[in-house]
Amino acid sequence: MPDSGTLVLPFDAGDLQENFDRECLPGESCDNEAALRAIRRINSIVRDGASCLLFHDPVAIQRIKLCPEFYA
């Protein structure tokens, strides 16, 4: 995004920051290997400077912009 940079929206790839920090899978997965690859890929994108918006993490949601604010 022009003003905010790259934003990753992982949705259910990981519910909590812990999923990405510890590379542990969320509650359920139909393909654990693919799920772990997704978490690692998202971590790689974040290491390259992107921001990750975790909508399901009760701590992270307190730090992100919510309506009526927006990302541009």
Residues 46-56: tens digit of each pLDDT: 999 999 988 88
Q: For residue 48, what are its two tokens?
A: 């390259």
> Is-contact 33 26, C-beta < 8 A?
no
Q: Which residue type, as a one-letter code, is found at position 23?
A: E
Query: Helix or strand or coil: residue 34?
Result: helix
Q: Is residue 34 part of a domain?
A: yes
Q: Answer yes or no: is 46 within a domain.
A: yes
Q: How is residue 21 written in tokens?
A: 């920090």
Cα distance between residue 67 and residue 53, in whole Å: 14
- Asked whether residue 68 is assigned to any structural domain, the reply reads no
Number of domains in the chain: 1
Global pTM value: 0.81
| Domain enclosing residue 30, as ranges | 7-63
Q: What is the mean pLDDT of residues 21-37?
A: 93
